Each structure stands twice: as C-alpha cells, then as structure tokens.
Amino acid sequence: MAIVPIYEFPHEVLRKKARKVKKLDDSIHRIADDLIDTMQNAQGVGLAANQIGILKRIIAIQLPEEDPRIYINPEIIAKEGEREVPEACLSVPGYTGIITRSIWVKAKAWDREWKDVRIRADGLLAQALEHEIDHLNGILYMDHLSEHQKLQKVEPETNLEEIQEED
C-alpha cells in the first residue's frame, strides 16, 4: 500500500481509455490499495486508475463517513435526468466548474472479491460514479462544461475535495 503521485492535466494518460481487467490477482489488489491510500491522502471523494498512471478499469470512491469502495470494470447501464452541480478533480487542482450530471444512475461492476455488484445511486455517489467512469474513458469533467460556463479558480484551501457536495 502506498501513496503515489496523481497525474495532472494536461498529462496524456488522462486522455487515454483504460483497458478492462480480465482477472483478479495481486497486482489488481495493489492498484486498488494505492488508489484508496492516494485518494484518502488527497482528501478526495474518488480516484480512477488513469490518475495514477495505470490504464486499467479500476476506480475508488469514498463518500463522507463511509468506507472506501473499489469498483472494477464499472459501467453506467442506465441514467436519468439532468442537474447542474459544482465539480472539481484531483487532476485539475485549483479549479472548479458547474457541469451537468445525471439525477440518478445505475451501474454494474465487480468488487474486490470479483463479485458482480449493481449500484443504483443518486446525489454525490451518482456524480462520483459518472466522474470516475469518465476518467476511464479519457474524459475530464470540464469536457461537460456548457458553452457559457468556465472553470473558476479556487483558493487552494477550499479545493480539498475532488467533488464538492451539492448544497
């Protein structure tokens, strides 16, 4: 387990598509542990493997007051609605922006025991799932900014969380 560097925009690894994990072995558990340690150290809500330079479809998410979750090969299988939310990213430090996300999503993935999991989420978990799965596809949150919106600079001390919760 280790805290590893987080790659920052415009590093090209953030624009690459991550590959499916085909079998669960020690190397996948190591990546999962590194994701959790690095996410927690940065006080983020989520982290995708691309952000630590690994092109495998693995994400970590940790909601406030909850245990960290690992999702392997996660996929959004249904989503509905639109809402505007403030968002930020550990790979784009110092900025935040208002973007459009779904009201709820359904996702499927494997967990660390290689068990099939289904997740129906709204609120911050839905936003985190969309944000982290986007990373696996080389998409960054500012790609979702609408035409008249811009990224805003924020003070470093207010940018501790990767995704800011809606009021």
Which residues of the shown chain bind Zn ion in the complex (CB under 5 A)? 89
Q: Do 142 and 74 form a contact (C-beta atoms < 8 A)?
A: no
What is the smallest separation between the CB atom of 71 and Zn ion, expressed in angstroms?
Answer: 15
Q: Cβ closer to Zn ion: 32 or 44?
A: 44
Which residue number is nearest to Zn ion in terms of Cβ?
89
| Helix, strand and coil percent figures for the chain, each rounded to 5 | 25, 30, 45
C-beta separation of 45 from 123 below 8 A: no
Q: Least distance to Zn ion from the beta carbon of 91, Å?
A: 5
**Smaller CB separation from Zn ion, 89 or 119:** 89
18's tokens = 């991550």
**What is the C-alpha to C-alpha distance for residues 128 and 126, in angstroms, rounded to an integer?**
5
- Smallest separation (angstroms) from Zn ion to the CB of 135: 6
Catalytic residues: 132
Work out the end-to-end distance of the chain between its first and last CA atoms, rounded to an integer number of angstroms.
34
Residue 113: DSSP 8-state: T
State which residue, 85 or 89, has the beta carbon closest to Zn ion.
89
Residues in the chain: 167
Are 121 and 105 in contact by the 8 Å Cβ rule? The answer is yes
Q: What is the closest distance, in whole angstroms, from the C-beta atom of residue 46 to Zn ion in the complex?
A: 7
Are the CB atoms for 64 and 35 separated by under 8 Å? Answer: no
Between 28 and 128, name the residue whose CB sits nearer to Zn ion: 128
